[in-house]
A and B are shown apart, each in its own frame.
Chain A
Amino acid sequence: MPPSPVELLQGTLDVLILKTLSWGPRHGYAIARWIEQVTDDVLRVEEGSLYPALHRMEKRGWIAAEWGLSENNRRAKYYRLTTQGRAQLRAELSAWETFAGAMRKALAADATPA
């Protein structure tokens, strides 16, 4: 059963956020900028949708937040990965690998099964 587009988007966004934070604490804007750069705007998401995702993940305990000062001395909310979030990232990555591998294999097949 294919996942619905919203779920796909949401799940994808979560993995991307976790991945971003795996290099260290970041505020929301920095996360948005990173996603924008590495995906070359292919996965164009509304920046606003980032925040409910962040807050939901904070509620689940995957990430933790703290107020700090930004590079240009503004008060900004910094997120960092928790142990639980790190485990979640590992699980999501391996699930993604499995899924992508299976898809690749299926799409590369050139004969109908006997």
Chain B
Amino acid sequence: MNKPVPIEINHIQAEEQIRITWNDGHIWEYPQTYLRGYCPCAQCQGHGASDEKKFTPVKEAKLEEIRAIGNYAIEFRWADGHNTGIYTFDYLRSLCQCLQCEPSHAGST
């Protein structure tokens, strides 16, 4: 049970980003279009056997609501009504691109 868990999810409306702070110190601001593009629901990811995460580009991803699901996941309700993606903490963490997760990003902005 010692998997990293988020302690704060901050919807920074002006920047259209969602900052997730984890209990082990990781912090990253997820762009809304990035999160929406990686929506984990079956409609977006398909039913294929591939483990690879599929990215579906979207022009716009307005966020209406963020809701905790049980002890383990987050639901994002997008303005177009899409809300079938249940983003488990593990999945959100796999999308984290902070400097600890992606050291190659150091130096670039």
Question: Are chains A and B native binding partners rather than an unrelated pairing?
Answer: no
Which residue numbers of A lie inside 8 Å of B, CB to CB?
Answer: none
Binding site for A on B (CB under 8 A): none
